[in-house]
């Protein structure tokens, strides 16, 4: 079994060496627990290993992701980055293809124009934050990376990050399971290992819509103690499931340190 590094050494050890290649791993938790930083670790480890990365970010602009990564000791600027929102074609083969809200908007407009051409009398309008738009954008990213023999079928191992999935059903949480299945059926490949985040509401500590965890091969849950009670920030991480892996069963204390990022401590 080939395992893919998360970029966090202690977490790899807890996973018998890393995530099984081809898995979809969901990282759940409320804002501020470190989900996005774990995504950065995963992407950076891939880039260092020679894996191209497709990085979907709905939470912030990618330049902010890069600055946060730099402060944590992970310099993404040393790798060739291309944003699908840009009008110009890539000058070189990118190592990271970014899909942010502006890229999703561009793809949604392209899909709408195509729908007009195919059926002028009944036009379907695509939204930026729709599963159909996301699927099309991911396939476009594969094409840009020149890693696809056929559309959506990578030749090389690809790391896919989606931060966060909750944005695609925040107004229709009841559709979370349907959208999750639709996305996985359309984009899952043995040669793509994915890390996706799911937001939990700080008030209820429950997910915005249920279903993503059910289609996942692995679930990593992150949380923090009630700050009013403990009067400090205490973050935690536990591996709730990981297929084909005898993983650690106890929680780790999470520390986020400058120039190191996530540091896990056994308790």
Rounded to 5 degrees, φ, ψ at 220 are -115, 120
C-alpha separations of 44 from 81, 157, 181, 222 in Å: 13, 14, 27, 20
Burial 197-220 (b: 16+ CB within 10 A, else e): bbbbeeeeeebbbebbbebbbbbb
Q: What is the pLDDT of residue 174?
A: 87
127, pLDDT greater than 70: yes
pLDDT of residue 146: 85
Q: What is the tens place of the pLDDT at every residue in 101-110? A: 999 999 999 9
Q: What average pLDDT does the chain have?
A: 93
Residue 263's contacts (CB-CB under 8 Å, 6 or more residues apart) are: 10, 254, 255, 256, 257
Show the tokens assigned to 258. 């400058």
Q: What is the pLDDT of residue 211?
A: 76
- Per-residue pLDDT at 99: 98
pLDDT greater than 70 at residue 149: yes
Nearest to 65 by CA among 105, 100, 89, 102: 100
Could you tell me the end-to-end alpha-carbon distance of the chain, in angstroms, rounded to an integer? Answer: 29
Q: Please provide the DSSP assignment of 125-147 as one string.
A: PPPTTSHHHHHHHHHHHHHHTT-
170: confidence class by pLDDT, cuts 50, 70, 90: confident
**In the predicted model, what is the mean pLDDT of residues 55-82?**
96
pLDDT of residue 121: 86
Task: Name the band, by pLDDT with cuts 50, 70 and 90, for residue 251.
Answer: very high
Q: Is the pLDDT of residue 125 over 70?
A: yes
157-186 average pLDDT score: 92
Q: Where are the alpha helices (DSSP H) in the chain?
A: 9-14, 35-49, 62-71, 101-118, 131-144, 176-187, 212-215, 227-230
The full set of domains in the chain, from first to last, is 22-219 (3.40.50.300)
pLDDT at 67: 97
pLDDT in tens, 69-86: 999 999 999 999 999 999
Instruction: Report the alpha-carbon distance of residue 21 to residue 158 in Å, rounded.
Output: 10
- The pLDDT of 148-175, averaged and rounded, is 89
Residues 37 and 27: their CA atoms lie apart, in Å, by 11
- State the residue for tokens 């894996």: 51
DSSP 208-260: SSS-HHHH-SEEEEEEE--HHHHSS--EEEEEEEETT-----S-EEEEEETTT
- Tens-place pLDDT, residues 177-227: 999 999 999 998 889 999 999 988 766 566 666 778 888 999 999 999 999
Q: Mean of the pLDDT values across residues 154-164?
A: 94
99 is written with which tokens? 């899909």
232 token code pair? 């400090």
- Produce one character per residue of 5-15: b if its CB has 16 or more CB atoms within 10 Å, e if not: bbbbebbbebb
pLDDT digits (tens, 9 = 90+) for 229-249: 999 999 999 999 999 999 999
**For tokens 């040669």, what's the residue?**
191
pLDDT of residue 208: 62
Tokens of 110: 């392209």
Tell me whether residue 256 is exposed, middle or buried, using C-beta atoms within 10 angstroms of its C-beta: 0 to 12, 13 to 18, 19 or more: middle
Query: Rounded to 10 degrees, what is the CA torsion of 125, 26, 234, 6?
Result: -120
**pLDDT category, 157, cuts 50, 70, 90?**
very high
């Amino acid at each position: 079994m080939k395992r893919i590094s998360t970029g966090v050494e202690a977490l790899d050890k807890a996973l018998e060496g890393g995530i099984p290649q081809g898995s979809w791993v969901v990282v759940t938790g409320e804002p501020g627990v470190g989900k996005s930083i774990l995504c950065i670790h995963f992407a950076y480890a891939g880039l260092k290993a020679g894996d191209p990365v497709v990085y979907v970010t709905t939470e912030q602009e990618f330049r902010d992701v890069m600055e946060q990564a730099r402060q944590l000791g992970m310099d993404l600027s040393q790798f060739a980055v291309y944003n699908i929102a840009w009008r110009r074609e890539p000058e070189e083969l990118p190592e990271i293809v970014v899909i942010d809200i502006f890229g999703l908007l561009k793809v949604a407009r392209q899909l709408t124009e195509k729908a007009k051409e195919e059926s002028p009398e009944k036009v379907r309008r695509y939204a930026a934050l729709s599963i159909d738009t996301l699927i099309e954008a991911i396939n476009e990213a594969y094409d840009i990376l020149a890693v696809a023999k056929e559309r959506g079928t990578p030749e090389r191992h690809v790391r896919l990050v989606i931060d966060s999935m909750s944005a695609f059903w925040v107004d229709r949480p009841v559709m979370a399971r349907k959208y999750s299945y639709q996305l996985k059926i359309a984009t899952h490949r043995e040669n793509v290992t994915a890390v996706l985040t799911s937001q939990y509401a700080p008030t209820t500590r429950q997910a915005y819509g249920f279903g993503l965890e059910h289609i996942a091969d692995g679930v990593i849950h992150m949380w923090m103690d009630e700050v009013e009670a403990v009067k400090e920030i205490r973050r935690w991480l536990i591996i709730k499931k990981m297929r084909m892996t005898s993983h650690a069963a106890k929680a780790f204390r999470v520390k986020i340190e400058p120039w190191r990022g996530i540091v896990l401590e056994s308790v």
